[in-house]
Chain A
Amino acid sequence: MSDPRGSKGSASCDTDPIHTPGSIQPHGVLFVVDEPDFRIRQASANAAEIWNRSIESILDRRLDELTGAGSVESLKKYAAKVSIERNPTLVGTIALDSIAEPARFAVVAHRIDGCLIVELEFAPNRIDASETETNRHIQEFLFSLGEVADARELARRAAADVRRITGYDRVLVYRFDSDWNGTVIAEDRDPGMPSYLDLRFPASDVPAPARELYAKNRIRLVVDVESEQIPIVPSLHPRRGEPVDQSYCILRSVSPIHIEYLKNMNTAASMSISILREGELWGLLACHHRTPRKPSFAVRSACDFIGGLLSMRIASSERTAYLSEKIRLKSIHEKLLAATASADDFRDALVDHSRLLFEYISAEGAAIVQNREVRLIGRTPPEHEVARLGEWILEHGSSEVFHTESSHQLLPDWDRFHDRACGVLAISISKLYPHYLIWFRPEAIRSVTWAGEPLDPDRLDGGLHPRASFEAWKEIVRGGSNPWSRNEIEAAIELRNSIVGIVLKKAEELARLSSELEHSNKELEAFSYSVSHDLRAPFRHILGYAQLLRELEGGSLGDEGRRFLDNVIDSAVQAGLLVDSLISLSKTGQTALNPVEVDMNALVHEIRRELERDLRGRNVRWIVGDLPPSVCDLTMIRSVVYNYISNALKFSRGRDPAVIEIGGRVDGAETIYHVRDNGVGFDMKYVEKLFGVFQRLHRVDEFEGTGIGLANARRIVARHGGRTWAEGAIGRGAVFHLSLPRREYGG
């Protein structure tokens, strides 16, 4: 969620060189010295006062001339043991009696850009009695870490301990969100201080350069907002020609904006301790005091230690929560996967298991989009809108996962679905097409309590005037759903990978099946080619020789011998016909349809004329109605109609008269034709057998035939997208129907 107030106000502040203020706070002295001779190149102006000599007489001297040989020796020793590179280190404490006002100093040194920076911070004259206390507090805090798992409670204890150790009026634990807004998650305060608990501070309060410094130098001290800043002289390093980089200085002065900010908070002194996680700024321990305050270096280090412990402990408890959630998601993922893998279409599985889908990622609606085909589950926008969203995501989203909590980042008019689809999490199933699984979350209206009413961004143009009031100011945040957690987004990606895997595997299987099918089609073709040549030839030979035999020797055979020979000839003829019909059956599936508009009346007339030649004086009464035309493959449909009519004639052979009635009508999307006869009929029990290959309901000596005609008819009609069926009763005739879908020519 972006900061609804924008972050314009911080823009100018972002560019202020706050790491090179060129001055320090007055609670110590800063020297920039050369190594190895410890000659002073720059010094804070207050050195003159402390050593009671002109600043010119200090520059170019060796440091030990001011601080005594012992301090430099111990510094050298320390630097040899510990890396002080960008790491301010307490080298020791020195007491100087020879200066204007004798004092003790904590000596802190670090190296940066090849310069050694030595800071002497005024220290109390005797060992701070509270230091032993401090150790005890740290120990207690350390022990309590094991007992508490709740992050807020841990933070509360840390705040309390830091306040006890440091004595500040108020200690806050401040946590940054992903947009660098900070929320106070814990607080310990003097009752006289206003509470900041649960207040949210905008990202502009801690601008990017300040955050960068917090990450580098974990402790930031402002002793007194009213104190004057001490300049460093000369302002530029004589050799490098640049101001001192004070990123790591403990005495660094405070920017006027920050001073104003603290004053507006009624704070005279502050200390911030950065809480880092994996090098990133996670939050701050912020301490405020109504009067100037300077905890000792040791106390500050103790607080730093507490901050570190706190962040580690919170990290580990969050990690535990994250992992246990991950385990829960994993088990749902497996269930979803099992359901998806066993389904023919993963979409069906997801719709059937929508409960799991919402357990997996908490949402109130979901959709599966495949091009313009959309399946909806739960509360969602309408289908066509979801389809449009799919296309939008394909164009604007990333390849794996897309998520947003605010619908105004989506399509321009998507806002109207804020009650259903304010938050969108989409995983992409295909890289090329808008194929998505999408979860929807409704708008969640939240109230955020800001620390102070946000300023009109236009008034912040100067960026120099932080707001004056930190009174809690409630803002109602709209246009956003509950956020998609990192866990949920990762889970969505995992589910995506699984589904893509399954879809790919299915596609591979299909490709394999289709290549097998192609292969077996080729084999079938080769087989039918071979049958048509190799099987037909022997039948031709049998018939040829038998006919020759009958012709040449028929006279010398007995009656029985001639009958046998006739049977051989009949069988061979029959076998030959069988082979021919089988071949034509197999070709029905192979040849492409050539649909044309067919005049059924003319077709039936022509078939009648051909068949009537063989009727040899049978008494047949034809009743032929007016037949509507059809768009179909003429040759194929002719063979179907021929089969129907020749069957009708065949099975009505014994009738006088045989009545053959042919009719047709348009019925909705179909044209239906029928051929009725008054022949022997059939038992409806066997109706489905009629259309099977080699299925016969009559003995061969009753009615000749190969048993393939109707099977072929059914295949042809089916290829046209039509149906074939029959009705009949034994002894009472039969009627055969065929339907063809109505379509325009070439359609």
Chain B
Amino acid sequence: MLKPILLVEDNPKDLELTLLALARSNLANEVVVVRDGVEAIDYLFCQGEFTDRPRGNPAVVLLDLKLPKIDGLEVLEKIKAEHDLQSVPVVILTSSREEKDLLRGYSLGVNAYVVKPVDFLEFMQAIQELGVFWAVLNEPPPGSARLSKHGR
């Protein structure tokens, strides 16, 4: 079974547009949606309401930066600090190219940093390319999936 894509997005319109873009890219991966930083952590660490979810890491995390409760950069930091999650690709999707966010993102080990284009057609194209690259082509380093299969 394909690993799901984790989409972390609080804005409903952005969410809808991103989901539409993902749908049009003909990816077979399931898209799991969480709406803030805390939910994202809970999902990734199988805790809170996600305690009983099927084990396994997502194929890619699409992460908005401005999130309620815990912001995107903090979520990124937690992912990259956790051994079992380190190899999960994280793509930051953000409204604006803010120099200091970008630098912080890269210093925390983000895999890609995408500024959402204003034009929806361009946005769609960007999402499709991302999806194909990270969810399909980019095979995570061996070990991470296996490890998670055996559980902790």
Contacts and interface: CB of A to CB of B under 8 A. Distances in A.
Contacts of B14: 537, 540-541
A573 B119 contact: yes
A625 interface: no
Contacts of B116: 540
A124 B116 CA distance: 125
Contacts of A576: 118-119
Contacts of A543: 118-120
Contacts of A536: 95-96, 118
Contacts of A572: 118
Contacts of B13: 537, 541, 544-545
A729 to B, nearest CB: 37
A576 B95 CA distance: 11
A534 B17 CA distance: 17
A545 B98 CA distance: 25
A537 B14 CA distance: 8
A377 B123 CA distance: 71
Contacts of A548: 20, 120
B20 A537 contact: no
B11 interface: yes
A548 to B, nearest CB: 7
B17 A533 contact: no
B101 to A, nearest CB: 9
A532 B17 contact: no
Given A533-B66, A537-B11, A537-B14, A544 B120 contact: yes
Query: Which of B97, B116, B120, B121 has the most chain A CB within a 10 Å cutoff?
Result: B120
B119 to A, nearest CB: 6
Query: Binding site of A, secondary structure by majority: helix, strand, loop or mixed?
Result: helix
Contacts of A577: 118
Interface in B73-122: 94-99, 116-121
Contacts of B94: 533
A544 to B, nearest CB: 4
Nearest to A531: B96
Given A536-B118, A547-B120, A541 B99 contact: no
Interface string A586-600: 010001000000000
A433 interface: no
Interface in B1-56: 11, 13-14, 17, 20
A547 B66 contact: no
A536 B93 CA distance: 14
Interface residues of B, number: 19
Contacts of B118: 536, 539-540, 543, 572-573, 576-577, 580
Interface in A275-314: none
Contacts of A540: 14, 17, 95, 116-118, 120, 123
A703 interface: no
Given A540-B116, A541-B13, A544-B17, A532 B95 contact: yes
Contact of B96 (A532, A547, A573): A532
Nearest to B115: A536
A117 B118 CA distance: 114
A300 B118 CA distance: 112
B98 A532 contact: yes
A539 to B, nearest CB: 6
A99 interface: no
Given A533-B66, A544-B17, A548-B20, A583 B96 contact: yes
A322 interface: no
A120 to B, nearest CB: 104
A576 to B, nearest CB: 3
Nearest to B21: A544
Contacts of A532: 95-98
A416 B97 CA distance: 69
Contacts of B98: 529, 532-533
A544 B99 CA distance: 25
B105 to A, nearest CB: 14
B121 A547 contact: yes
A532 B119 CA distance: 16
Interface in A509-567: 529, 532-534, 536-537, 539-541, 543-545, 547-548
B123 A544 contact: yes
A547 B24 CA distance: 14
Query: Which of B96, B116, B118 has the most chain A CB within a 10 Å cutoff?
Result: B118
A533 B119 contact: no
A532 B66 CA distance: 12
Contacts of B123: 540, 544
A573 B119 CA distance: 7
Contacts of A591: 99
A583 B20 CA distance: 29
A84 B37 CA distance: 99
B51 to A, nearest CB: 33
A204 B6 CA distance: 104
A256 to B, nearest CB: 95
B120 to A, nearest CB: 4
A521 to B, nearest CB: 15
A510 to B, nearest CB: 29
Query: Which of A536, A537, A577, A591 has the most chain B CB within a 10 Å cutoff?
Result: A537
Contacts of A587: 99
A330 B82 CA distance: 77
A587 B123 CA distance: 24
Query: Which of A534, A540, A573 has the most chain B CB within a 10 Å cutoff?
Result: A540
Nearest to A536: B95
A541 B17 contact: yes
A533 B116 CA distance: 10
A532 B100 CA distance: 13
Contacts of A534: 95
A532 B121 CA distance: 20
Interface in B107-152: 116-121, 123
A532 B95 CA distance: 7
Interface of A: 529, 532-534, 536-537, 539-541, 543-545, 547-548, 572-573, 576-577, 580, 583, 587, 591
Top 3 closest pairs, chain A to chain B, by CB: A576-B118, A532-B96, A544-B120
Given A532-B98, A537-B13, A540-B14, 17 more contacts: A529-B96, A529-B98, A533-B66, A533-B94, A533-B96, A534-B95, A536-B96, A537-B11, A540-B95, A541-B13, A543-B119, A544-B120, A545-B17, A572-B118, A577-B118, A583-B96, A587-B99
20 contacts: A532-B95, A532-B96, A533-B66, A536-B118, A537-B11, A540-B17, A540-B116, A540-B117, A540-B120, A541-B14, A541-B17, A543-B120, A544-B123, A545-B13, A545-B17, A548-B20, A548-B120, A580-B118, A583-B96, A587-B99
